[in-house]
Amino acid sequence: MKKIIFHIDVNSAYLSWTAVERQKRGGPDTLDIRTIPAIIGGDISKRRGVVLAKSIPAKKYGIITGEPVVDAFKKCPQLKSYAPDHKLYARYSQAMISLLKEYSPVISQYSIDECFMEYVPIPGAASPEEGAKQIKDRIRNTLGFTVNIGISTNHLLAKMASDFKKPDLVHTLYPDEIPQKMWPLPIEDLFMVGRSSAKKLRLLGIRTIGDLAQTDPKIIVSHLKSHGQTIWEYANGIETAPIDTRSKRDAKGIGNSTTISFDVTDRQTACHFLMELAESVSRRLRQHHLAAGMVSVEIKYSTFDQASHQTGLLTPSNGTQTIYDTACRLFDELWNGSAIRLLGIRTSKLSSDTIRQLSIFDDPASEKQQKLDHALDHIRQKFGDSSVIRASQMKSKD
């Protein structure tokens, strides 16, 4: 039997998770913010930053992910805005992954709100489509939020399928369905085709994914170089290497990166994503009883230009705050102000965290923070991610 891949994608993840948490906490205002024009993103009081997630009612006003918050309020003055809480989102993400592991031993997390899963036949499900419906319904009924699930024979097509009509739906995109389901879509809908690439393709008269698929690849490569070959293959459903390779670990380092679905053009939004990455990387370091002596940050711009910068730590660390602070400093030194589509944090020069060489420059508070990180990891591993919450994670009820 040919391998079947599921791509599970949370619908409006940040907004959905915020809505679920608000309802759990109760209080005078338990309105489900998914049912009103609402967004997650930016500084609420100053209306800075960009839209990280939007409700379906907000979408009806033309509000799009990645646009400035101030522009969103111009489109919808009665819009409600809520600050992001990435530690909260990490807990909901882990809860979903834990549930999915009951169905398959092969789970590959692609970002905080999406993952790939190799399908294992489910008792009582006559097909992968029926199995996917069971899984999505259980996520909705157990965890309180909805997902789309895309199904295919490779990661690329499964991811494309999950982006079809939303929310709370299952879609297939098998190779023989590509001409009917994928080729009529606008070129911007193809995975890895950003604003810059789409503009160049449209100048060549390529407006749909089908147009790209049926164009001589030599023409595409002459204008977009190696990236042109990649997206031509994607337009034809060809995946030469799995796309779920953003999480990296080898003997020399531990790291993670995230491709962002919109152009990030302000520091505040970039730092939100760096916090997600720092949480992920530091947790994995602690799981392997390792401390990092080097931290590096990677940026990929919307033009596909890349840049990276690294620095050594005076004392090897696996503390979340240390890695995050270092990553932000590196980002400030590296970023040239252009639109960002990928951010990554990687740690190297790893050593055992059981033996620590103290420095006269060590901040005593950092040692306390490291002990706190280990204590929280232990408690959450035993009792679940939501069993204990840092004071900094608590939000006042809206």
pLDDT above 50 (res 398): no
Angle between the N-to-C axes of helices 267-287 and 364-383, in degrees from 0 to 180, rounded to the nearest 10:
70
- Tokens 């009951």 appear where? 102
pLDDT 10s digits, 203-217? 999 999 999 999 999
**Residues annotated as catalytic (active site), given as ranges:** 114
CB atoms closer than 10 angstroms to residue 161: 26
pLDDT 10s digits, 147-196? 999 999 999 999 999 999 999 999 999 999 999 999 999 999 999 898 88
**What is the model's pTM?**
0.70
Please list, in sequence order, all residues whose beta carbon lies within 8 angstroms of the beta carbon of residue 172, skipping any fewer than 6 positions away.
129, 150, 151, 152, 161
Residue 306 is predicted with a pLDDT of 87
Q: Are 208 and 198 in contact (CB under 8 A)?
A: no
pLDDT 10s digits, 326-371? 999 999 999 999 999 999 999 988 887 665 554 444 555 556 666 6
Q: Are 8 and 149 in contact (CB under 8 A)?
A: yes
Please give the average per-residue pLDDT across 250-259, as a whole number: 75
Token representation of residue 48: 């800075």
Please give the average per-residue pLDDT across 114-139, as a whole number: 96
**How would residue 247 be classed by pLDDT, with cut points 50, 70 and 90?**
very low
The Cα–Cα gap between 114 and 145 comes to 13
pLDDT above 70 (res 6): yes
pLDDT above 70 (res 60): yes
